[in-house]
Structure 1
Amino acid sequence: MTWTDDTILITGGGSGIGEGLAVALHRAGNHVVVAGRRPEALEAVARRHPGISCLPLDQSDAGAVRAFAEEVVRRHPRLNVLVNNAGIMRTEDLQAPDPDVVDDVVSTNLLGPLLLTAHLLPALRRRPSAAIVNVTSSLAFVPKATLPTYCATKAAMHSYTESLRYQLRDSGIRVIEIPPPRVYTDGSADDDHGVGVDAFARDVVSQLVSHPEAQEIVVDAARLLRFAERRGDYENVYSTVNFHDSKGTP
């Protein structure tokens, strides 16, 4: 893929990483469709960047996902890239669990993208060149204990992505994983622990273009967690990630 002149659907595209990727890919010469729970946020993105389209989607609702998939293909028949980015993060105390939080996080972060992928796969198969991009998290590889369900869903998405890539290995559909580090969405400068959303999006698109066969896009700030187990220092990194929480501080 050349990552230009594609028709790209990005879930969770009304803010944060989704908006950053949408803008970067739009500027690269693609037709981008952003989807998400908040129509007003999507419309604001489309107003700021003429040419970006938007459609509302609550991917925690299985019925809505099916209807949305039919609508997006009807409106954008050249759709050839799906970016599963939408997700929610909730802190939890597992000694006083909240089943509603578990249900909301799992349905949004895991069931939603799996169902959307399943519903869109027939349309993607019809395109001569297509891709499915799953935005997971570096916390899929070194979890943060205060975000147990969030981290579990991201680890599950990593596993699903591996299986999807293997099963589609003989098709024309590329399957790519992006595990972001901490991404600052408020304009904060980059530091050793994270990166600003605009810099993150630019780096991701640059790597997609320069490494067209890459199966995973890992920016520098994500490498500490993503490859902790491979380097053999998982326990040290896990302790670092969870140190402040064990001290009772933010």
Structure 2
Amino acid sequence: MGAGKTKRMPRAVREQQMLDAAVRIFGQRGYMAASMDEIAELAGVSKPLVYLYLNSKDDLFTACIRREARALTEAVRAGVLPGLSADGQLWSGLRAFFDHTARNPDAWRVLHLHARTHGELFAAEVAVMRAEIVAFVTHLIAAAARDAHRDPHLPEGEVAGLAEALVGAAEALADWAGATEGVTAKQAAATLMNFAWAGLGDLMTGRPWSPPEEPEAAPAPETAPEATTAPEPVARAASAQAG
């Protein structure tokens, strides 16, 4: 489409229009296969205008990652309402996460698939987003433990590990839900809630699971010293041959 056919509109609006098109193409094609011509066509602008606004394909992809990462983190934060119980906070956060990824499948593929596999700079952008979500979940778990028994006994490292595990499970389940026909965002959130809360609920009320006692290791058997002379039958045979 020629530049002469492009309707005049505010730069910010036009740029978001380009990013919308780019997220769709990057999400469906991947970074390498995505065409700037196709992005411009879908956005209804000329390719030179895309380069004028966003400099290069790398810069365009980075802008997509940053916008979608910000949208996801804001959705999760906004979904957790203050004053909810510990399970209510976890449930509302999971619902917000799965609702957002289900409504924006191309954006989720950009963040969780394509950005991680097309260079360290892109992967680093996603890592910033993920670290922010893990930190938020870590805070939720710590606050829930504090509210549950007033004197939290969860070590800081354990809380951080629980948050990493929960976020990792949510990411994997979002991929599964997106690839499985008929699975709704609510069903995906309930699946993870049922998986996680049985353990977290006990943990919050001071009933952690403990591994069974391991039997003490048996002492290693003593090894016989290496023989320095040939066994007696072999020695007799050697003497007979020598005689």
TM-score bin, normalised by smaller chain = under 0.3
Which structure's residues are more often helix, by fraction?
Answer: 2
Give the TM-score normalised by structure 2: 0.27
Which structure's residues are more often strand, by fraction?
Answer: 1
Q: Which of 1 and 2 has greater Rg?
A: 2
